Amino acid sequence: MSPMDRPAPDVAGEAPAAGRAVRHDGPDAHGSDADGRTPGQAAAAHAPGYAPGRTLPLRVEFVRQLRRRRTMAMFGVLLALPWVLVVAFQFGPAGRGQGSLRLSDLATAGGLNFAAFALSVSASFLLVVAVALFCGDTVASEASWSSLRYLLAAPVPRDRLLRQKLVVALAYSAAAVTVLPLMALLAGTLAFGWNDTTVPGTGEVIPAADVLPKFAVVIGYAMVSQLVVASVAFLLSVTTDSPLGAVGGAVGLVIVSSILQAVEALGSLREFLPTFWNAAWLDALAPEPEYGGMVKGVAISVTYSAIIVAFAFRRFRRRDVVS
């Protein structure tokens, strides 16, 4: 037998037996090897010192997201808006007079009134866009840059990848919801003084020191009310490769919910819409706070968000990542 006719030796130096299938240990199209293991599981079994819990640290993801231009631009808009409103009130035409009890006409009564007004006009759209941007752009942007598959091949376990990105996205969303009313409180106090709070509708005056703790509850409720937007944007982010589609889909949900909320024919069914209880925080600023609406709003937001986020994790585990 000539050397050209001899069978090639295998790893052990022996020729493969006739009819024996050759095993391929590389990953298949779905990211699993011949034993059905993901790249992360294979690395844990073969790579000494590999620790899944040390992959993609939160600090690294926080810094990455902070350095992005969209993060800086969004926080710049949120911090500048209260000062734009101050200029508008200072140089704009006079309001309806001292007898008006609308929140917009009471905005110049003091810093807390101005902060409440700024939160009311921004919560329905600007804060929605901010939360949708931070949560909808987090995974889809990696796919659009063709870097998502490299993160998974590092290897970063899929659940850990989603968890780290979701934690960072929610942290930046909470910061966005917080900095706007706090900056509005600062701007309103400097422009209109630290005065007692006038309650819209009734005209009752409450000491500012008594309203300040309630305002902290208001900010916390505003964060919770945006959880549905965050979860929907996150679900779309793990489903599509287009960050704009994920952000736009979450904003579109809020628009549709707001339209349905105005349809009185729906009756009590409107209470299950994700935006129905968004303005319930106004009840917390009353002389005798009423928290019933806020409790219902928290229950609706947390329930919807938990279901949507769980579905997002399930969807990403089965997704064939090719970008």
What does the pLDDT read at residue 86?
94
Which structural domain range is residue 187 located in? 65-317
Q: What is the mean pLDDT of the segment spanning 238-257?
A: 91
Q: Which of 36-50, 94-108, 156-170, 190-204 has the lowest mean pLDDT?
A: 36-50
> Confidence class of residue 146 from pLDDT cuts 50, 70 and 90?
low
Q: Is residue 20 part of a domain?
A: no
Summarize pLDDT for 5-35 with one digit per residue, the tens.
Answer: 444 444 444 444 444 444 444 444 444 444 4
What total of structural domains would you count in the chain?
1
For residue 200, CA distances in Å to 99, 100, 114, 185, 194 come to: 11, 9, 12, 17, 17
Compute the mean pLDDT over every residue in the chain, rounded to the nearest whole number: 81
- Two structure tokens written together for 137: 């752009």
Q: What is the mean pLDDT of the segment spanning 193-201?
A: 85
> Confidence class of residue 242 from pLDDT cuts 50, 70 and 90?
confident
The C-alpha atoms of residue 285 and residue 271 are separated, in whole angstroms, by: 22
The C-alpha atoms of residue 135 and residue 145 are separated, in whole angstroms, by: 17
Q: Is residue 267 part of a domain?
A: yes
Q: What is the mean pLDDT of the segment spanning 93-104?
A: 62
Q: Is residue 48 part of a domain?
A: no
> Confidence class of residue 322 from pLDDT cuts 50, 70 and 90?
low
Q: Is residue 57 part of a domain?
A: no
Q: Is residue 18 part of a domain?
A: no
Q: Is residue 308 part of a domain?
A: yes
Which is more confidently placed, 11 or 59? Answer: 59
What does the pLDDT read at residue 44?
47
Burial 200-217, CB ≥16 within 10 A → b, else e: beeeeebebeebeebbee
What does the pLDDT read at residue 91?
82
Phi and psi at residue 297, to the nearest 5°: -65, -40
Residue 126 pLDDT > 50: yes
What does the pLDDT read at residue 2?
45
Percent of the chain with pLDDT over 90: 48
Q: Is residue 306 part of a domain?
A: yes
What does the pLDDT read at residue 185?
95
For residue 159, give every residue at least 6 positions away whose Cβ sits within 8 Å of its Cβ, in sequence order, or none: 313, 317
Q: Are strands 197-198 and 205-206 parallel, antiparallel or unpaired?
A: antiparallel
Q: Which of 3-12, 39-48, 299-308 has the lowest mean pLDDT?
A: 3-12
Q: Is 254 exposed, middle or buried (0-12, 13-18, 19+ CB in 10 A)?
A: buried
Q: Is residue 3 part of a domain?
A: no
Chain-centre distance for alpha carbon 76: 18
The C-alpha atoms of residue 115 and residue 95 are separated, in whole angstroms, by: 18
Percent of the chain with pLDDT over 70: 76
- Two structure tokens written together for 275: 């935006």
What does the pLDDT read at residue 4?
44
β-sheet bridge partners, residue 206? 197
DSSP 106-136: TGGG-HHHHHHHHHHHHHTTHHHHHHHHHHH
DSSP 28-87: -TTS--TTS--HHHHHHHHSTT--GGGSS-HHHHHHHHHTSHHHHHHHHHHHHHHHHHHH
